Structure 1
Amino acid sequence: MMASDLSPLLPALLDPPDRVALRFGAPGAIAAELTYAELAAVAGGLAARLAGHGRVAVHATPSVHTAVAVTAALLAGVTAVPMNPKLGQRELDHVLADSAPELVLAAPGVALPDPVAALPRIDVDLAASGSVPDREQAAAGPALVVYTSGTTGMPKGALLSRAALAANLDGLAQAWEWTAEDLLGHALPLFHVHGLVLGVLGPLRRGGTLHHLGTLDAAALAASGATLVFGVPTQYHRLAGQLESDAASATAIGRARLLVSGSAALTAVDHARLRAATGLAVRERYGMTETLIITAARAGDDPEPGAVGHPLPDTDVRLVPLPGDGGEGLGAVEVRGPALFDGYLNRPDATAATRTSDGWFATGDIGRWTESGQLALVGRSATDLIKSGGYKIGAGEIENALLEHPGVAEAAVIGIPDADLGERIVAFVVATGEPPAERELVDHVATLLSPHKRPREVRFTDALPRNDMGKVVKAKLPR
């Protein structure tokens, strides 16, 4: 069912089914659980308090409070800005100044970092009660402002409309045969598209159940009874290792309908390990904050390891031939469709730079079509993008942070293949004198940026390889 056929974004809250909507915590240690009727009451009451506001921040911990806060904002017609609770100080200062929220929603008792703590605060009270409006309020602005990973500078706020969210989730429902009978299990963060839009709003739009497990542990996932599972390659790699010595959990997880992986490529080795353990073939999908999900391997298709599926309904994808392709069929991936963002907050220049002269969005990815018509991604046009643990990380941002340390004269950062993380971040450093301790530099980066952007390894060298123009030639760094 496409968005035009289902005008409320969360129709199940208007006529709550007798079903659990949200469950957080491992089976046997459930931290919180709300039925649809309970969610409607709690979110409806909070929505009434938000009425008339413009933009509100959500301290997006992996908790039911985050799900309720975003739901209430959508019901009230205000714009929610989910904020990563682990942002480094510089990134946090930037996001807060850029988005300028009027207040912050948070779980009771959670300490907020400066300067978020200076905002007017509303705690999400799960015991509160109210009623859902007869119809969702018309939004004066976007539904969400979701910040990018900051791969080419400071994070940018992508403006995502209600129509874009609805169209994308309905397209995925078609691709994955997603219904109200599905129980979605995942353990993703709730401040980006994968965990929040797909992982929370997806099941709520269908009228199904979300079970957020905290961690994608084999025994917990097996006990949850999930019919649909979302994860990133790092989680699936670890899950595959657990299942090889836990046949009972493997059998239970094998009763699910679909295992879906995204945010980075799942290796062929892990595809094979998971299929051998569970009997299920993992489906991959492809998207960005700015585009939501572009392509997805469909429930009825035979998955192709290394491919990310077909374009979603009403979404067009084209590959613009690359100079010097040599007949390999490679092209720059460009997309148009109803799920595209409305631009970057306060950045018309950056918004314009993403658009082609005929109105398509340039993803920056390079791909090819497989014989079955699925899209396969082969790399980025920007060579400094590192995909580690499900995150897309810009090398330049880490290099700039390293260069602020007094012991660092030069720095170059690359991603090196890693069986667990996909790629691990390795920094090559020329010291100003006596090399500082590796841990000192790692902690330095983790303080300025998000912890997942810290180098996993620091290698000291006398000089960095450069070309005649003085540019570092990263291809010559030892891997």
Structure 2
Amino acid sequence: MSSLFPALSDPSAGRRPALRFGERGLTYAQLASAAGALAGRIRGVGRVAVWATPSLETAVAAVAALSAGVPFVPLNPKSGERELGHILADSAPSLVLAGPGVELPGPVGGLERVDVDVHGSGALPEDGAGDEDPALVVYTSGTTGPPKGAVIPRRAVATTLDALADAWQWTGDDVLVHGLPLFHVHGLVLGVLGPLRRGGSVRHLGRFSTDGVARELGEGATMLFGVPTMYHRIAEALPAEPELAKALAGARLLVSGSAALPVHDHERIAAATGRRVIERYGMTETLMNTSVRVDGEARAGTVGVPLPGVELRLVEEDGSVVAARDGESVGEIQVRGPNLFTEYLNRPDATAAAFTPDGWFRTGDMAVREPDGYVRIVGRKATDLIKSGGYKIGAGEIENALLEHPGVREAAVAGEPDDDLGERIVAWVVPADPAAPPGADELAGHVARRLAPHKRPRVVRYLDALPRNDMGKIMKRALRDA
């Protein structure tokens, strides 16, 4: 039986709902039967690919592969053929698991295919997989080259989900709502495998909508997972949707991740619902590193404290540790613990470069620590750390300040070369009213008053919308290339 999901082999859990996607759902007994049938077909075949649509079939495929001890590669259905071709050539899956009738594009269609029958009948195999055996291979976004496959062991899945259970007091009584894609860590590992490990249930919206959130939370769901784009839409909708405000107010836990949630949206949601959104911090290679705890302070703009078992430190460019916990001293986050990936598939060079000689993973994220240990991320080392006039400045705090201006709907900040300052601060702004955008001097003064004069944007550029990826993250390289 699968040690990752004890409830699947627990007769007392059989009738409890496990998964629901729209109108389709499975109890634990039905999930165990369907996953057992599929696990019997794929056991021993080597690595498999999963065509990761937001569907019941994807969830069953993931549970079946893990139950069979077969590592799987979730494939993003929105990926282009070139990227899919690279991932398939690199990971070399022996077959692909997909929903019946789903059309697969060229590179994927060439694989042997096994249709996922969510009504299949079979017994779960005995679990012979070890903690260090690979569970899944998740490909990174590829912003600095072709995507790399992060090999995530079963140990990392189990320890991360158990650490989150500790931080969030997550139990089998919880019902999770989300509408996230299932080809990455947030939507699949946290959003599907997390509830199943606890013996609880997940209701997937298929496609995110504020109506769907209000309906599911209003019908007994206790938790909501989302990304900042989703919470921004919630914040925008709250004044006109009293049922949404009521549903959110009744939730036990609202969690945002994958990117920073602007403080302005935090405050709007809290004011309308009385509930604070909490943030956590993780990445593909590390799963989850930190979180605001439910028994701690839900402090907007921070990602909380390290999870149980996770060591975290900040370091200077020369590798020296940033000892100060003053909320100002910036350093790169490095982490160590059982939540880490094993390697980049077929990339020993990249794997070696990702770790320090003493075994810490270099995240590339820049942060400060508060006196009580809370971590506040200020951006990515490559795109969000701005060195201007002798100061180290995080783009994230300037973005939050800009979003507090009533004339700004969206904002992104980065540095550009400057002969005098080294780098000048540049802001890309989507105005609330395109016909009357706030002036550059007005915005610079707004930031200077809230933060400091040296943090004001020197250049402001106006856009109709910011370029974002599937997770709602702003693609700053695309802004610079525009």
Which of residues 276, 282, 301 in structure 1 aligns to 2:296?
Answer: 301
Give the length in aligned residue pairs: 404
Q: 2:370: which partner in 1?
A: 370
Contact 1:185–1:221 (CA under 8 A) maintained in structure 2: yes
Report the Cα distance in structure 2 between the residues aligned to 1:228 and 1:124, rounded to whole angstroms. Answer: 28
1:251 counterpart residue number: 246
Which runs of 5 or more structure 2 residues have no equivalent in the other structure? Answer: 386-394, 400-413, 415-425, 433-464
Question: Residues 452-474 of structure 1: CA distance to partner in whole angstroms, max 9, x if unpaired?
Answer: 89989999xxxxxxxxxxxxxx6
Query: SS state of the match for residue 160, structure 2?
Result: helix
- For residues 145-189 of structure 1, the C-alpha deviation after alignment (integer angstroms, 9 at most, x for no partner) is 001111211110000001110000000000000000000000000
Amino acid at match of 1:19: R
Pair 231,237 (structure 1): closer, same or farther in 2 beyond 3 Å: same
Change beyond 3 A, Cα 1:419–1:376: farther
Aligned residue number for residue 231 of structure 2: 236
Cα distance, 1:136 vs structure 2: 5.6
1:262 aligns with 2:254: no
Cα distance change, pair 144–253 in 1 and its aligned pair in 2 (3 A):
same
Cross-structure match for 2:454? none
Q: Deviations over 1:53-106 (max 9, x none)?
A: 110000000001000001000000001100001101221111110011000000
Secondary structure of the corresponding residue to residue 115 of structure 1: helix
Quickly say closer, same or farther: Cα 1:276–1:106, change in 2 above 3 A. same
How high is the TM-score relative to the length of structure 1?
Answer: 0.78
Cα pair distance change 1:226/1:451, threshold 3 Å: closer
Does the 8 A contact of 1:78 with 1:140 survive in 2?
no
1:416/1:242 Cα in 2 relative to 1: closer, same or farther (>3 Å)? same
State the alpha-carbon separation in 2 of the partners of residues 70 and 419 from structure 1: 42
Residue 74 of structure 2 corresponds to residue 62 of structure 1: no
1:383, 1:229 → 2: CA distance? 30
Report the CA distance between 1:127 and its aligned residue: 2.2
1:88 to 2:80 alignment = yes
Runs of 4+ in 1 over 6 A off after TM superposition: 323-327, 384-388, 449-459
Note the C-alpha offset of 1:249.
Answer: 2.2
Distance 1:247 1:450, change over 3 A: closer
CA 1:451–1:245: 2 relative to 1, 3 Å: closer
The residue that corresponds to 2:163 in the other structure is 171
The answer on 1:22 being equivalent to 2:19 is: yes
Structure 1 equivalent of residue 337 of structure 2: 337
Is 2:203 the counterpart of 1:204? Answer: no
Q: Distance in 2 between matches of 1:139 and 1:57?
A: 21
Which of 125, 129, 132 is equivalent to 2:117?
Answer: 125
AA in 1 matched with 2:67: L
Between the aligned partners of 2:269 and 2:474, the Cα distance in structure 1 is 29
Moved more, 98-107 or 140-149: 140-149
Tell me, yes or no, if the aligned pair for 1:87 and 1:450 is still in contact at 8 Å: no
- Structure 1 pair 332/457, CA: closer, same or farther in 2 (3 Å)? closer
**C-alpha RMSD over aligned residues:** 3.2
Residues 332 and 74 of structure 1: CA distance in aligned 2, closer, same or farther (over 3 Å): same
Deviation of the 1:321 alpha carbon: 3.3
Which of 203, 226, 240 does residue 221 from structure 2 map onto?
A: 226
Letter in 1 for 2:120: A
Shift of 1:217: 2.1
Give the drift of 1:417. 5.2
| Kept in 1: contact 2:68–2:127 (CA 8 A) | no
Show the 5 A alignment for 1:45-444.
45-135=37-127, 137-138=129-130, 141-224=133-216, 225-322=220-317, 328-383=328-383, 416=428
Residue by residue over 1:226-278, the C-alpha shift from the partner in whole angstroms, topping out at 9 and shown as x without a partner, is 20110000010001112221112211221111100001100111001111222
Q: Secondary structure at the match of 2:344?
A: coil
Match of 2:144, SS state, is: coil
Match of 2:437 in 1: none
Matching residue's letter, 2:372: S
Unaligned runs of 5+ in 1: 1-5, 389-394, 396-413, 421-441, 460-473
Contact 1:322 1:330 in 2 (8 A): no
Helix, strand or coil for the counterpart of 2:79? Answer: coil
Find the residue that maps to 1:244 and give its secondary structure: helix
With the length of structure 2 as denominator, give the TM-score of the two structures: 0.78
CA distance in structure 2 between the partners assigned to 1:162 and 1:129 by the alignment:
25
Distance 1:415 1:342 in 2: 38
The question of whether the paired residues in 1 share the 8 Å contact of 2:312 and 2:335 is answered with yes
Structure 1 residues 357 and 289: alpha-carbon distance in aligned structure 2, compared to 1, 3 A threshold: same
Identity fraction in percent: 56
CA deviations on 1:107-132 (whole Å, 9 max, x unpaired) are 11000001110100000012211111
Kept in 1, the 8 Å contact 2:227–2:257? The answer is yes
Q: Distance in 2 between matches of 1:419 and 1:252?
A: 30
Q: 1:249 to 1:419 in 2, by over 3 A?
A: farther
Matched to 1:208, the amino acid is G
Which SS does the other structure have where 2:134 is aligned? coil
Q: Distance in 1 between matches of 2:17 and 2:365?
A: 39
C-alpha distance in 2 between matches for 1:370 and 1:47? 47
